[in-house]
C-alpha cells in the first residue's frame, strides 16, 4: 500500500518543515503561528509535485526518487526574477547565463555539452513551451515571459525528465500558472528600475461557482535595457485569460495567451588586462553598463540582390505570439483516468542584434593589415585612412580615447513558427503486491518554421554605442579614389540562409510508481520517440553587386534559386528505474539509473543541408540522493553521473579577413561528468535562516582529438567543458522581523573559473556576486519590494566570444579580447497591492 502516516506524524512534519506560505517558529508556544515568507529555496517536503512523473496520484516532494527543486509563490515574489533564466539560478545543478537579457540565454545541467535549451525542457503547465528547444536562433525563452501569473516552479534535473518530456535529458523546468479556482482575488504590481524601467503587472481571478473559475493577468513594460543601448530597448508585454473547472476528480483548463514584446540581446564587449594581469575595462568603455550596439548601428540599409534589407536594431528579439492551451483530466472510474494536454502556438519571431566579431585591434594595426589589398584594388591609390561613416571626419588612434576597432555583424534572423503539441495518457491506480500509480501515453508534436537569415559586417570604433568607420583609399593629393568599406560595411551579405522545415515527432511512453511497502517505492518508465523532418534549404552563391568604388559589395552571399531537399528520420528508446526508501516521513534516500538519448534537431540542417554527422546521442545518467527535514535543518544532497556518447561538436569561426564563417570543423567525442548537488536550509529561529544551493562537478571531454586546419593534431581529452564552472555556490542568509512582515535576504553567488573554448586556452576567472532582496508587508494588502543585483558592481564573465570558434579561441595572451559580463549594479523597487 501507499505510505500512510498518522495525523500526529503529519502535524509534526508541518511543524518542522514549514508550508510554502507559512513557517512556524520551533521556539513558539503550541498554537502560536507566525506568518513568514517562505525562506526555503529547498522548498517544502510536503508539497505535491507533478513534474517528471507519469502517475496521477499525489506524491510528496519528500518521497520523490529524483532530484527536484520547488520554488513557491513567496520565493518568486521575493527574488522577483528579471528573466526566465534568472529563476534557474535558485536551482542547483544548473549553470545559467542570463547575461544575454530577458531572452535567448544559455542553460546547462549536469555536464550537458550543448547550449541554449537544447537539452533542458522549458514547460508551462507540464507541457513544453517549444517541442525542440534547440532550433537555431529560436530558444523557448523567446516565447515565454515570467510574470505575476506564475504561481510556482518545479525543476527536475536529469532522472526521468527525458522520459516524460522531449529534448530534456538535462532536466525540465515547469512554470505552473494561477487559475481562478485556486487564486481568487487580484494583484496589481508596479516596478521601477534604475535603467528607466517602468513595468505594470496584474491579475484577477475568481470562482464563478463551486467548480468553475476565471482568471486574467499579464504585464506591460518599457525600459532602456540593462545596458545603455541609446534607445528604448524593451517594450511590450503579454496577457492571458484562463477558464478552468475542477470538481476534485475531473478538471478542465482553457488558457489563451498573447505575447507582443521586444527585448535586446546583449553580446560580448571588449576587455583588456591591467598591469597586474587582472581583467579590466578598455579605456572609455564601461563593461558593466555599456554595449557596442547603439543608434549608429540602427536603421541601416544592408545592400542585397534587388532592394536593400533595412536593419532595425531597435526590434531586438521581437516575439508576437498567440498560444492556446487546453488541459483536462477525466476520471473514468475509481481506477482509471484520462489526462490530456494540448497546445497550439503561432509565433512570428525576429532576432536583430549586433554581434561583435573578429579581434579587438589597434586602428593602425588594422589599417596596416589591409593596406596592401586595398591599394592593389584601386589604381592610383597611395595610402588609406579611416573616417567616420556618413561624415568623413578623420579617425586616428587618439580620436575615441583608445584607438581600437572591432568588427560588428548586423544580423537579422526571422523564424516564424506554427506548432501543435499534444500529450495524452491513461492513468491507473490499483493494488497488486502494493499500490501502483501507472500511466501509458503518447506525445505528438508538429511544427512548421521558416529560417531566413541575412547579415552585413561593419567596422566599428570601440566605445559605448560604437560608431561605424569607413576605410578609404586616397591618392597623393589626399583625394578619395576608392573605398574598402561602404557606409561602414566591410561586407554586405556576409551570411545568407533561406530555409523552410516541417517536423513531425511522436513518442510513446509508460511508467509505474510501485509503492511496495510503506517505506519502499520502485519507479519504472520507458520512452520510444521518433522525429521526422523535411524541407528545403536554399543553395548559396556569391555575387558582385557591381559598385566599382567599393569592395564591400564584391562578395555578397545570396541564393541561386535552387533548393536542396532535406529528408531525415531518427528514433531511439530510453528507460529509467528508480527506488525511494523512507526511513521516516522526513528522511529518505533514493537511487536512479537512466539510459536515454538526445535526438538531432532540425535546426542543425538550417545552414548545412548535406551534413551527415548527426545521429541520436546515447546518454547514461545515475544519481544517488539523501533528504532530511528537521525542526531547524533541511537537506537535499544528490550525487550524480552523466555521460554523453558520440556528440558532434561543430566549430563555427567567423573569419575577420574574409568576413564570413570558415568551413566548420566537426569532431565526434564523448563527455563525462561526476558531481554533487546540495540544497540546505538552516532555520535556528524565526528571526534568521540560511539557505544554500551548491553544485560541484568535474565535467570533461573524452576522446576529443582532431587534426586542425594547419595539419596539427589537437588532443583535448580531459579538458573542462566550456563555460561550465566546477563549483557553483549560492548562500542566502536572511533576517525576518516584525512577526515576518519584513524579510531581507543577501544572496551570495560564487562561480569558479571557466573556459570559453574546448582547448581551455583562455580562462574566465572566478567571480562572486552579492544581491539584495527585501520585502515588507506594510498591511495585509500592501507590500513593498526592493531587489539590488550585483551590489558591488563586480566584473564577472559568463562567456567568451563564440564567433572566435568553440574549439580554440586563438591567442590567449592577446592584449584585448571579447567576452560577455554579467550586468552591473541594477536596482528595482516595487509596490504590490493585493485585493
Question: For residue 405, is it within any domain?
Answer: no
The domain that contains 499 carries what CATH number?
2.40.170.20
Q: Check: CB of residue 519 under 8 Å from CB of residue 559.
A: no
For 787, the 3-state DSSP assignment is strand
Query: pLDDT tens-digit profile of 218-238?
Result: 999 999 999 999 999 999 999
DSSP conformation letters of 26-71: TTSPTT---------SS--TT-B--TT----S--BGGG-SS-EEEE
Residue 533 and residue 376: Cα distance in Å, rounded? 48
pLDDT at 6 over 50: no
Question: For residue 392, is it within any domain?
Answer: no
pTM above 0.85, yes or no: yes
Residue of higher predicted confidence among 29 and 432: 432
Residue of higher predicted confidence among 53 and 558: 558
Question: For residue 171, is it within any domain?
Answer: yes
Residue 229 and residue 227: Cα distance in Å, rounded? 6
pLDDT at 638 over 50: yes
* Total count of residues recorded for the chain: 835
Question: For residue 515, is it within any domain?
Answer: yes
- What is the total count of domains within the chain? 1
364-370 own/partner pairs: CB under 8 Å, 24+ apart: 364/397, 364/403, 366/405, 367/471, 370/471, 370/484
What is the phi/psi pair of residue 734, to 5°? -145, 150
Residue 468 and residue 297: Cα distance in Å, rounded? 7
DSSP 8-state symbol, 14: H
Confidence of residue 40 (pLDDT cuts 50, 70, 90): very low
Which burial class, exposed, middle or buried, applies to 169 when counting CB atoms under 10 A from its CB (0-12, 13-18, 19+)? buried
Average pLDDT over residues 725-734: 96
Question: For residue 68, is it within any domain?
Answer: yes
> What is the pLDDT, as a whole number, of residue 725?
95
DSSP 8-state symbol, 282: P
Question: For residue 558, is it within any domain?
Answer: yes
Confidence of residue 1 (pLDDT cuts 50, 70, 90): very low
pLDDT at 2 over 50: no
- Counting residues of the chain whose pLDDT is more than 90, the rounded percentage is 81
Average pLDDT over residues 744-770: 95
> What is the pLDDT, as a whole number, of residue 26?
33
For 408, the 3-state DSSP assignment is strand
Query: pLDDT tens-digit profile of 426-456?
Result: 999 999 999 999 999 999 999 999 999 999 9
pLDDT at 33 over 50: no
> What is the pLDDT, as a whole number, of residue 647?
93
pLDDT at 570 over 50: yes
> What is the pLDDT, as a whole number, of residue 190?
98
Query: pLDDT tens-digit profile of 88-141?
Result: 888 998 988 899 999 888 888 988 888 779 999 999 999 999 999 999 899 999
Question: For residue 94, is it within any domain?
Answer: yes
> What is the pLDDT, as a whole number, of residue 105?
87
Q: List, in sequence order, every beta strand (DSSP E) within 374-479.
A: 383-388, 394-395, 404-414, 417-431, 435-461, 469-474
> What is the pLDDT, as a whole number, of residue 112?
87
Distance, first Cα to last Cα, the chain: 43
Residue 125 and residue 792: Cα distance in Å, rounded? 37
pLDDT at 679 over 50: yes
pLDDT at 5 over 70: no
Which residues in 484-523 are b (16+ Cβ under 10 Å) and which e? bbbbbbbbbbbbbbbbbbbbebebebbbbbbbeeeeebbb
> What is the pLDDT, as a whole number, of residue 31?
37
Nearest in space to 110 (alpha carbons), one of 124, 94, 121: 94
Give the domain extent around 275: 7-357+410-834
Counts for the chain of helices (H) and strands (E), in that order: 5, 44
Amino acid at each position: 500500500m501507499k505510505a500512510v502516516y498518522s495525523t500526529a506524524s503529519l502535524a509534526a512534519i508541518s511543524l518542522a518543515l514549514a508550508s510554502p506560505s507559512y513557517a512556524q517558529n520551533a521556539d513558539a508556544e503550541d498554537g502560536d503561528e507566525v506568518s513568514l515568507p517562505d525562506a526555503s529555496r529547498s522548498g517544502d517536503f510536503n508539497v505535491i509535485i507533478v513534474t517528471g512523473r507519469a502517475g496521477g496520484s499525489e506524491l510528496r516532494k519528500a518521497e520523490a526518487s529524483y532530484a527536484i527543486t520547488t520554488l513557491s509563490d513567496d520565493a518568486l515574489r521575493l527574488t522577483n526574477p528579471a528573466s526566465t533564466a534568472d529563476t534557474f539560478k535558485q536551482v542547483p545543478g544548473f549553470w545559467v547565463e542570463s547575461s544575454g537579457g530577458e531572452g535567448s540565454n544559455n542553460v546547462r545541467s549536469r555536464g550537458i555539452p550543448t547550449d541554449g535549451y537544447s537539452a533542458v525542457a522549458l514547460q508551462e503547465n507540464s507541457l513544453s513551451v517549444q517541442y525542440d528547444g534547440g532550433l537555431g536562433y529560436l530558444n523557448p525563452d523567446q516565447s515565454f515571459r515570467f510574470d505575476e501569473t506564475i504561481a510556482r516552479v518545479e525543476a527536475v534535473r536529469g532522472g526521468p525528465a527525458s522520459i516524460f518530456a522531449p529534448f530534456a535529458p538535462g532536466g525540465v523546468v515547469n512554470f505552473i500558472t494561477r487559475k481562478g479556482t485556486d487564486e481568487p482575488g487580484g494583484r496589481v504590481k508596479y516596478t521601477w528600475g534604475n535603467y528607466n524601467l517602468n513595468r505594470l503587472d496584474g491579475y484577477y481571478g475568481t470562482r464563478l461557482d463551486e467548480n468553475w473559475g476565471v482568471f486574467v493577468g499579464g504585464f506591460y513594460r518599457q525600459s532602456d535595457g540593462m545596458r545603455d543601448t541609446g534607445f528604448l530597448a524593451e517594450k511590450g508585454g503579454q496577457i492571458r485569460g484562463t477558464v478552468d473547472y475542477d470538481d476534485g476528480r475531473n478538471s478542465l483548463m482553457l488558457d489563451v495567451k498573447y505575447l507582443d514584446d521586444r527585448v535586446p540581446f546583449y553580446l560580448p564587449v571588449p576587455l583588456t588586462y591591467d598591469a597586474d594581469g587582472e581583467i579590466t575595462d578598455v579605456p572609455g568603455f564601461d563593461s558593466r553598463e555599456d554595449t557596442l550596439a547603439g543608434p549608429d548601428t540602427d536603421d541601416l540599409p544592408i545592400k542585397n540582390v534587388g532592394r536593400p534589407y533595412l536593419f532595425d536594431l531597435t526590434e531586438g528579439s521581437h516575439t508576437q505570439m498567440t498560444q492556446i492551451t487546453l488541459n483536462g483530466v477525466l476520471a473514468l472510474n475509481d481506477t482509471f483516468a484520462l489526462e490530456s494536454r494540448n497546445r497550439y502556438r503561432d509565433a512570428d519571431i525576429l532576432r536583430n542584434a549586433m554581434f561583435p566579431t573578429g579581434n579587438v585591434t589597434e586602428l593602425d594595426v588594422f589599417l596596416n593589415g589591409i593596406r596592401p589589398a586595398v591599394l592593389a584594388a584601386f589604381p592610383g591609390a597611395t595610402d588609406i585612412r579611416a573616417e567616420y561613416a556618413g561624415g568623413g571626419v578623420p579617425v586616428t588612434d587618439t580620436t575615441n580615447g583608445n584607438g581600437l576597432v572591432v568588427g560588428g555583424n548586423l544580423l537579422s534572423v526571422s523564424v516564424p513558427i506554427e506548432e501543435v503539441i499534444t500529450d495524452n495518457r491513461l492513468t491507473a491506480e490499483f493494488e497488486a503486491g502494493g499500490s501502483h500509480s501507472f500511466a501509458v501515453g503518447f506525445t505528438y508534436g508538429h511544427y512548421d518554421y521558416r529560417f531566413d537569415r541575412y547579415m552585413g559586417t561593419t567596422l566599428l570604433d570601440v566605445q559605448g554605442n560604437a560608431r561605424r568607420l569607413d576605410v578609404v583609399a586616397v591618392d597623393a593629393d589626399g583625394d578619395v579614389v576608392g573605398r574598402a568599406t561602404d557606409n561602414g560595411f566591410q561586407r554586405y551579405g556576409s551570411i545568407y540562409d533561406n530555409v523552410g522545415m516541417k517536423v513531425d515527432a511522436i513518442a510513446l511512453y509508460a511508467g509505474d510508481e510501485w509503492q511496495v511497502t510503506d517505506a519502499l517505492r520502485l519507479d519504472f518508465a520507458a520512452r520510444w520517440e521518433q522525429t521526422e523532418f523535411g524541407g528545403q534549404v536554399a543553395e548559396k552563391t556569391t555575387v558582385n553587386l557591381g559598385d566599382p568604388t567599393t569592395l564591400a559589395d564584391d562578395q555578397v552571399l545570396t541564393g541561386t534559386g535552387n533548393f536542396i531537399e532535406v529528408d531525415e528520420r531518427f528514433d531511439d528508446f530510453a528507460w529509467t528505474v528508480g527506488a525511494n526508501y523512507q526511513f521516516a516521513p522526513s528522511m529518505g534516500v533514493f537511487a536512479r539509473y537512466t539510459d536515454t538519448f538526445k535526438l538531432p534537431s532540425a535546426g542543425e540542417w538550417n545552414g548545412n543541408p548535406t551534413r551527415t554527422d548527426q545521429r541520436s546521442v546515447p546518454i547514461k545518467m545515475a544519481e544517488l540522493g539523501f533528504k532530511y527535514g528537521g525542526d531547524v535543518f533541511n537537506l537535499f544532497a544528490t550525487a550524480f553521473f552523466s555521460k554523453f556518447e558520440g556528440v558532434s561538436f561543430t566549430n563555427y569561426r567567423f573569419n575577420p579577413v574574409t568576413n564570413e564563417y570558415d568551413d566548420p570543423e566537426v569532431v565526434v567525442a564523448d563527455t563525462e561528468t561526476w558531481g554533487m548537488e546540495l540544497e540546505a536550509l538552516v532555520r535556528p529561529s524565526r528571526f534568521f535562516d540560511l539557505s544554500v544551493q551548491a553544485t560541484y562537478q568535474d565535467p570533461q571531454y573524452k576522446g576529443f582529438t582532431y587534426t586542425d586546419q594547419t595539419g596539427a593534431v589537437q588532443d583535448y581529452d580531459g579538458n573542462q567543458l566550456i563555460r561550465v564552472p566546477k563549483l557553483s555556490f549560492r548562500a542566502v542568509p536572511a533576517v525576518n522581523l516584525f512577526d515576518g512582515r519584513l524579510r531581507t535576504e543577501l544572496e551570495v553567488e560564487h562561480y569558479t573559473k571557466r573556459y570559453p573554448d574546448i582547448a581551455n586556452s583562455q580562462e574566465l576567472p572566478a567571480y562572486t556576486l552579492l544581491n539584495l532582496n527585501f520585502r515588507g508587508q506594510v498591511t495585509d494588502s500592501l507590500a513593498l519590494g526592493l531587489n539590488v543585483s550585483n551590489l558591488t558592481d563586480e566584473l564577472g564573465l559568463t562567456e567568451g566570444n563564440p564567433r572566435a570558434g568553440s574549439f580554440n579561441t586563438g591567442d590567449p595572451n592577446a592584449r584585448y579580447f571579447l567576452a560577455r559580463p554579467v550586468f552591473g549594479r541594477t536596482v528595482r523597487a516595487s509596490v504590490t497591492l493585493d485585493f
